[in-house]
Amino acid sequence: QVQLVESGGGLAQAGGSLRLSCAASGRIVSFNAMGWYRQAPGKQRELVARITRGTTTYADSVKGRFTISRDNAENTVYLQMNSLKPEDTAVYYCGAGYGQTLGYWGQGTQVTVSS
């Protein structure tokens, strides 16, 4: 069984930074795709960033501010979030998958950005 555990969320001021981490454990083989989604109150879950073995994809709203990276040896994915805005406030979920679809999900970590 695969488990994904996020960490690094919390409270930040606008313009500040946070770094999220997501570590996979359990029956692990190398994931092809890992990524971050977020869900704000009253809104649908949306893609923030995803990374496969060859490419990275970002939502337009975070391009230039957020950076996704991964450590394949540790099955860990990171999200460096800079120049945070109040509209970045959401629960951030880590996902992973062996193909293109993210089929495994973490419990989420709250990110709150104050103005």
Q: pLDDT tens-digit profile of 35-79?
A: 999 999 999 999 999 999 879 999 999 999 999 999 888 789 999
Q: What is the number of other CB atoms lying within 10 angstroms of the CB of residue 76? A: 17
Q: How is the beta sheet containing 18-26 ordered, strand by strand? A: 2-7, 18-26, 76-81, 66-71
First to last CA, the chain: 40
Largest CA distance in the chain: 42
Q: What is the pLDDT of residues 72-109, one digit of tens each?
A: 887 899 999 999 999 999 999 999 998 888 999 999 99
pLDDT of residue 29: 67
- The alpha carbon dihedral of 26, 81, 85, 63 has a sign of negative
Tokens of 37: 């989604």
The residues, any chain, with a CB within 8 Å of residue 79's CB and separated by 6 or more, are 19, 20, 22, 36, 48, 49, 66, 67, 68, 92
Q: Please provide the average confidence, as pLDDT, over all residues in the chain.
A: 93
Q: Do 36 and 81 form a contact (C-beta atoms < 8 A)?
A: no
